Structure 1
């Protein structure tokens, strides 16, 4: 790469980084707003054990709990959290009935808590890992696999139904009262990766350049 080409490449990279930095700042701001504990409520179901029967029971309980909440959660965040929390006793009863119908002797315990969750992706919507308000439903000894989703806004229902979450982005944004879900930025990720690789790439290019020929 000659000096002129390298200069043009550096200018182009600088412009891309400037644009991506601005986008990234907005992205980080929107991410923080989106996963504020005052906005989102997660659902966390823990199976009794890792045995196939118990894992299937976990999914059956999940379906029963979502059916219990379906169509009942208000659109406003605080009202939604209030209803979800008031229904914990009913959620325990629904879970216990489901387990009993499957011939299982253990029960269920539902708690309202703030817990750490891993990152989650719903189509092009991304929720970072962090502490969220949650309904934690432990079945039996709670030594099995985990299942979690977003109970408010109702991404749980979209995930279980196999719907495309991107179709409801406007509705989800409205329900978060103007605080949009974080959208993964393809440009930001690629440019950020390129910036980290730039020094090693430059050294590799320079090593491949032929040594200057002595004209004497």
Structure 2
């Protein structure tokens, strides 16, 4: 009888077990919150770095008429050829921006001359500025939403559909091997981005203990 009584659980064993399970559950929930918050912060940080390390081209047509849209494409082709030659040796976005600042008068003359040869009297305005862009997927890569430095070329009243691409890295106008210097930025832009933390392994370990 004595041995049988020793095998029986005490009256407080049930509540104590439930309390431990609740404590582990709360700890796991808190840890998961920390992991998800850290992942979100990390993701936003990488997105911000991509915005800061990217130089875009933004060409706005005078209107959406077929004529004005064709003029936009003619200006695009003429400017891209000149921009590519000017920025092909830039090793950073800052170098590319500085090169464009120097080349800006020539770029505007090129765009204006292209319009004149096409028989258009539209005026051209070229400038570098910070512009908010929505997230956009190109062929082969993706850019997050954010504020980017862009070479903005306005044709006439600049009320038509625009054309935009990436000057640095030369993702649209240069070699297909163009990449960011940072591994995480490349993973985000070209796919395969994963946030991995030591905390995630800890969370898995805690969950394993609970389920065991």
Give TM-score, length-normalised by structure 1: 0.64
CA root-mean-square deviation: 2.8
Contact 2:124–2:156 (CA under 8 A) maintained in structure 1: yes
Aligned to 1:9: none
Of 61, 85, 88, the residue aligned with 1:47 is 61
Contact 2:184–2:193 (CA under 8 A) maintained in structure 1: no
Structure 1 CA distance for aligned equivalents of residues 154 and 140 of structure 2: 30
* Cα deviation digits, residues 80-135 of structure 1 (max 9, x gap): 11001221111110101111111111121101111111212234532111111111
Kindly report which structure 2 residues correspond to 1:47-196, keeping only aligned pairs within 5 A, or say none: 47-73=61-87, 74-157=90-173, 165=176, 168=177, 171-174=178-181, 180-181=185-186, 182-183=188-189, 184=191
Structure 2 CA distance for aligned equivalents of residues 93 and 100 of structure 1: 10
Give TM-score, length-normalised by structure 2: 0.65
Unaligned residue ranges in structure 2 (runs of 5+)? 1-28, 196-212
Structure 2 CA distance for aligned equivalents of residues 124 and 142 of structure 1: 28
* Cα deviation digits, residues 59-99 of structure 1 (max 9, x gap): 11011111001233112222111001221111110101111
Contact 1:34–1:179 (CA under 8 A) maintained in structure 2: no
Structure 2 CA distance for aligned equivalents of residues 90 and 83 of structure 1: 12
SS in 2 for 1:30: helix
Rg (Cα) greater in structure: 2
Q: 1:178 to 1:89 in 2, by over 3 A?
A: farther
Unaligned residue ranges in structure 1 (runs of 5+)? 1-13, 189-216
Structure 1 CA distance for aligned equivalents of residues 72 and 139 of structure 2: 24
The number of aligned residues is: 159
Kindly report which structure 2 residues correspond to 1:16-35, keeping only aligned pairs within 5 A, or say none: 21=36, 26-35=42-51
Contact 2:48–2:146 (CA under 8 A) maintained in structure 1: no
Q: Give the C-alpha shift of residue 25 in structure 1.
A: 5.8
SS in 1 for 2:131: strand
Structure 2 CA distance for aligned equivalents of residues 127 and 155 of structure 1: 11
* Cα deviation digits, residues 3-46 of structure 1 (max 9, x gap): xxxxxxxxxxx9xx99x95876654432222112xx21111100
SS in 2 for 1:96: helix
